[in-house]
Amino acid sequence: MSRTLKEEFQHSLDLIDALKTSSHPFVSEKYQLQVKEILESLDQCSRMISSLGIFSDNESWEDLKTNEIVYLTIPYHKALALERVRVQGAEDRKNLVFHQVKAYNDFLKSLDHYGLLPKTHSSRLESFLAGQLTIDNFASKVKELSDQLRPSDAAVFRAEKIAKHKAEKELEAKLDMLQKIEAKQKDPDAPNVDEDEVRDLRKEELKLYTLKTLNTLEMLSMEVQMLARAPSRPEPPIDLMRRAQAEQEQDGRERRVEDVTGYTDKLEKNPLTEAGRPILDSMGKINRPFKLVSTRQQLQSKVRGTGQYLPTMSVEDYLEEEKRRGGIIEGGGEIPSTEKSDNDMDEDAADRETMKAREWDEFVEANPKGSGNTMNMG
């Protein structure tokens, strides 16, 4: 069942409120689906407004119906929704920023038509609103607008910034009042609301959105300048591979011409290993690379396998080689000379300590206490 324009716009606002309280991360698919649904609903509202002829170039603010004023905010809500779209790459981001700036441009143009732009900004926005905004000229237009909105005098800029902040706070308070009135209008038993009061509050709402739009455009101006200096989109992987292969071939040709040492970057076979040289020499030094495997069958199973393998030897082969070199003790053999010498040194030291203790005991027995020099004691 199709919705009316009023129902569709309310559906858009409900989706926006749901997005504000969404628990899904910004990068999640569910969050992006919510954003997509908002944009589709707002676009549907724009199409319905165009087909119904709600706004006309020949009408003024006084001709505009009170219940239709709210539809002027559709481009503003669309620009806010576009801020939540996730993109990848500088080119995609630039395209997204263009559509966001275009939505703000459409919003300001509609306000300018009805004479709703602040007088302090109307002249500054003249160049930005003139002509058609395109992907080619939007960066320069936003940059020019930012320069006009930012005074050269730092004191003036600070004063204007403080004034904007105070104005936004006052307008937000009036917007809260408008939302309370809208809530009362949904209650059939509530008393009728003064239409002039609602109309004035709608105008204040548009002023608030205008200030927020100008602040956002100033920030987007800096991002647009950064995107203009960003590197272009990287080449596709296939093109990169082709270019790398061509550069490698060219580098190889130059090396063959310049290098007189006979260097080559190709994988060559070691003639020593091909001659059947053993993996380990008699001193245990490794002659060529090898890889230990658990069983000889595992090594044999890889003979017909795919890929390249280094020269390998099984654990059995390694143990046999160690046994042949005498590195493995079997049957309680003789202790290696290094360990034997260490033990001998320990035993000699213990013997010396024992002999020293015995000599001291013998000395004490032969010389009891008090048996020293007694010549002067009579």
Check residue 281 and give its pLDDT.
Answer: 73
Determine contact, residues 102/113, Cβ cutoff 8 Å: no
Amino acid identity for residue 120 in this structure = T
Please state the pTM of the whole predicted model: 0.58
Compute the residue count for the chain.
Answer: 378
Higher pLDDT, 272 or 237: 237
Check residue 143 and give its pLDDT.
Answer: 87
Q: What is the pLDDT of residues 117-135, one digit of tens each?
A: 887 777 788 888 888 888 8
Locate 79 and state its tokens: 């620009």
Please compute the mean of the pLDDT values over residues 170-177 and round it to a whole number.
Answer: 81
Locate 277 and state its tokens: 């040289």
DSSP state of 280: B
H helices within the chain, ranges in order?
5-20, 29-52, 74-82, 90-113, 119-122, 126-129, 138-149, 154-185, 195-229, 237-258, 271-274, 296-301, 315-324, 337-366
Check residue 137 and give its pLDDT.
Answer: 87
Q: What is the pLDDT of residues 98-118, one digit of tens each?
A: 999 999 999 999 999 999 988
The model's confidence at residue 242, banded by pLDDT at 50, 70 and 90, is: low
Check residue 339 and give its pLDDT.
Answer: 52
Locate 120 and state its tokens: 């302090």
Q: Taking the mean position of all CA atoms in its chain, how far away is CA 271?
A: 51
CA–CA dist 80, 103 (Å, integer): 9
**Other CB atoms within 10 Å distance of the CB of residue 71:** 21
Check residue 30 and give its pLDDT.
Answer: 93
Check residue 225 and give its pLDDT.
Answer: 83
310-315's contacts with Cβ under 8 Å and 24+ in sequence apart are 311/273, 311/279, 313/279
Q: What is the pLDDT of residues 244-268, one digit of tens each?
A: 677 766 666 655 555 545 555 666 5
Q: What is the pLDDT of residues 332-364, one digit of tens each?
A: 555 555 555 556 667 778 888 888 888 888 887
Higher pLDDT, 162 or 203: 203
Query: Quick check: 307 pLDDT over 60?
Result: no
Q: What is the pLDDT of residues 12-28, one digit of tens each?
A: 999 999 999 888 998 89
Query: Quick check: 369 pLDDT over 80?
Result: no
Check residue 286 and give its pLDDT.
Answer: 73
Check residue 272 and give its pLDDT.
Answer: 47
Question: Among 186-190, 306-310, 354-358, which is the least confidently predicted range?
Answer: 306-310
**Other CB atoms within 10 Å distance of the CB of residue 121:** 17
CATH number of 55-230: 1.25.40.540
CA–CA dist 129, 102 (Å, integer): 10
The model's confidence at residue 76, banded by pLDDT at 50, 70 and 90, is: very high
Query: Quick check: 234 pLDDT over 90?
Result: no
Mean pLDDT of the chain: 78
**Which helix (H) or strand (E) segment is 314 a member of?**
strand 313-314
| Burial (Cβ within 10 Å: 0-12, 13-18, ≥19) of residue 73 | buried
Check residue 378 and give its pLDDT.
Answer: 47
Domain ranges of the chain: 55-230, 271-326
